[in-house]
Each structure stands twice: as structure tokens, then as C-alpha cells.
Amino acid sequence: MTSTSTAPATTGTLDVPGARLHYELRGTGPLVVLVGAPMGAAAFAPLADLLATDHTVLTTDPRGHRGSVLDDPKQDSTPELRADDLARLIVSLGAGPAVVFGSSGGAVTALALAQAQPDLVTTVVAHEPPLVALLDDRVEQRAKTEEIIATHQSGDTLGAWRKFMAQANIQMPEPVLEQIFGGEREPVQQASETYWFAYELRATTSWEPDSAALRATAARIVIGLGAESAGQLCERTSQELGEMLDVEPVLFPGGHTGFVEDPAAFAPRLREVLRAQ
């Protein structure tokens, strides 16, 4: 059984070009970074606690979300900008190079970091990156993304999420969808969601990895795939990335957000993957 760290998280802020980043640190030992997009530090806290028994664990709110405030609220959040943010955080801590676990949009961030500053990472675990640009039907998928964004901008939040889940091929019963995304929302959650749809989703899903740069890096690239993600969009994108890099994806417990659903099962698997150098 994996023990849980009892050490409280320490919080900090870092000024970066165009933003002020909120971050949290737990534990001591080699640096592990847990990052999402749009998911922030709070979503990773249970997993971070489990890893903090023998690692320094860095979590952060991506630019434009929750505690990471932008100078220009309408600035697009690109993988390159978020990768630069991570690089500046790692350098500021003086604790790198780091293992970086990124999930969903955070996996795209982590890959962009490995391309741009490979000296700052030892291992990148890219868990289900939504790299639509790698798919044969990318034109159709990009059109669906534009429709999702337009639906949200029209004021139909629930409709946008219905279309998003349909594109992702994630099965969510309508009552659950309505409970999570319908009705009154917390202002901070609504603001984060609005920013993601308007200024982050398009740039993240359309990002194209540089195969040559990722193959050339000394950093180890691991592609993570949820054991329950069969048939979903991110299974397809993860498999395509694996073929591009000649890397076989490895399975993790749960689905697209398995680290949130069952961190106690996810942490041992992540440790196992990191040990398998």
C-alpha cells in the first residue's frame, strides 16, 4: 500500500511573461511535475500527496485558470506558452531536471516542453494527449471543435459539453452531464471553463508535435493510455503518437481522468512506469 504524505502543501506565485502563476509544492526528493490543461493544481492534489512521500511534487494552475492570472484575459493559451511557464517554474525552484506527468492538454504541454527545453526533463509521461492533428480525419475533427466553441460562445454551455463528450466518445449519462455542467456554477469554475473553450481548446488540440525533435531528445517519452479509454478519441491520438515516435503506449488505471477517479490505484502504476527505465 502506498502511504500518503502528511506534509502540507506550500503555495507560491511566479511572475512570467504575461501572467502570474500559482503553484504548489509537496514533499522532498526528486522533482515530479503534475500538470493538466485546463485542470489545475486542485485536481492533482490527491495524487501529489501520494507521491510526496519520496518526491518533491510541483502542481500548478495553468495560465488563465483559477489562481494563474493573465495580464490580458483574452490571450490564447498555446502549448508553447504553457511549456515556457513550466520551464520557468522548474528553473525557479532549482530542483530540475524533472519528471513531468501531463494529462490531456497538460500532456501536450509536457511534449512541447520536451521539444523546446529537453535539458529540463528526464522523463515525460504524456497521458492521453488530444493531438487531433495526427488523425486521418483531422479536418472533420477540427470542424467539430469549432462547432463546440461556437456553441459555448452562444451561451449554450450544456450543449457545448454534450458535443464535446460526443467528439471525445466519452459516454456520460444525461443526468450526470446536467448535474455537472448544468444549472448554477461556481464563478471560478465558470470562468475557467469559458477561458478554456474560447482561448485554449483550439490551440491545444491543433498542436503538431515535432517528431524529429522528440526522437532526438535524451528525455524518455512515455505515452500513457487509460485502461478504460478504448474507442475514445484520445485512445486514437495516443496510438497515433506512439506510431510516430515508435513508442508503445502503456496502460494506466481508469479512463481519461483516472488519476482523479482513483489516485490510490494510479500512483503505484505511475511509480512502476517511472522505475522502468
Q: Is 246 helix (H, G, I), strand (E, B) or coil?
A: coil
Of residues 183 and 15, more confidence is placed in 15
- Residues 191 and 242 grouped into a single domain: no
Q: What is the pLDDT of residue 276?
A: 83
- Residues 25 and 107 grouped into a single domain: yes
- Residues 128 and 146 grouped into a single domain: no
pLDDT in tens, 47-92: 999 999 999 999 999 999 999 999 999 999 999 999 999 999 999 9
* Domain total in the chain: 2
Residue 168: pLDDT band (50, 70, 90) is very high
Q: What is the pLDDT of residue 110?
A: 98
* 4 has a pLDDT exceeding 60: no
Instruction: Report CA Rg, the chain.
Output: 18
We report the CATH number of the domain holding residue 263 as 3.40.50.1820
* 3 has a pLDDT exceeding 60: no
Average of per-residue pLDDT values in the chain: 95
Report d(CA 44, CA 49) in Å as an integer.
9
Of 130, 159, 163, 129, whose CA–CA distance to 144 is shortest? 163
- Residues 166 and 244 grouped into a single domain: no
**In the chain, what percentage of residues exceed pLDDT 70?**
97
Residue that is last in its domain, among 154, 170, 198 = 198
Q: Which residue has the cell 495580464?
A: 71
Burial class (CB within 10 angstroms; exposed 0-12, middle 13-18, buried 19+) of 174:
exposed
* 183 has a pLDDT exceeding 80: no
- Residues 62 and 153 grouped into a single domain: no
Q: How many helices (H) and strands (E) does the chain have?
A: 12, 9
* 5 has a pLDDT exceeding 60: no
SS3 content of the chain, % helix, strand, coil (to 5): 50, 20, 35
H or E segment to which residue 103 belongs: strand 98-103
Inter-residue contact 48 to 57 (CB < 8 Å)? yes
Residue 43: pLDDT band (50, 70, 90) is very high
- Residues 235 and 112 grouped into a single domain: yes
- Residues 58 and 76 grouped into a single domain: yes
Inter-residue contact 128 to 36 (CB < 8 Å)? no
Residue 3 is assigned to a structural domain of this protein:
no
Q: Look up residue 62 and give its three cell numbers.
A: 495553468
Query: Who's near 188: CB < 8 A, 6+ residues apart?
Result: 66
Q: What is the pLDDT of residue 277?
A: 64
One-letter amino acid at 105 equals: G
Residue 2 is assigned to a structural domain of this protein:
no
Q: What is the pLDDT of residue 102?
A: 98
Poorest-pLDDT segment among 42-56, 86-100, 168-182: 168-182
- Residues 118 and 227 grouped into a single domain: yes
pLDDT in tens, 101-158: 999 999 999 999 999 999 999 999 999 999 999 999 999 999 999 999 999 999 999 9
Residue 185: pLDDT band (50, 70, 90) is confident
Residue 4 is assigned to a structural domain of this protein:
no
- Residues 52 and 100 grouped into a single domain: yes
* 18 has a pLDDT exceeding 70: yes
Q: What is the pLDDT of residue 1?
A: 37
Domain containing residue 27? 10-136+207-275
- Residues 132 and 143 grouped into a single domain: no
Residue 1 is assigned to a structural domain of this protein:
no
Inter-residue contact 259 to 106 (CB < 8 Å)? no
Q: What is the pLDDT of residue 2?
A: 44
- Residues 185 and 50 grouped into a single domain: no
- Residues 155 and 258 grouped into a single domain: no
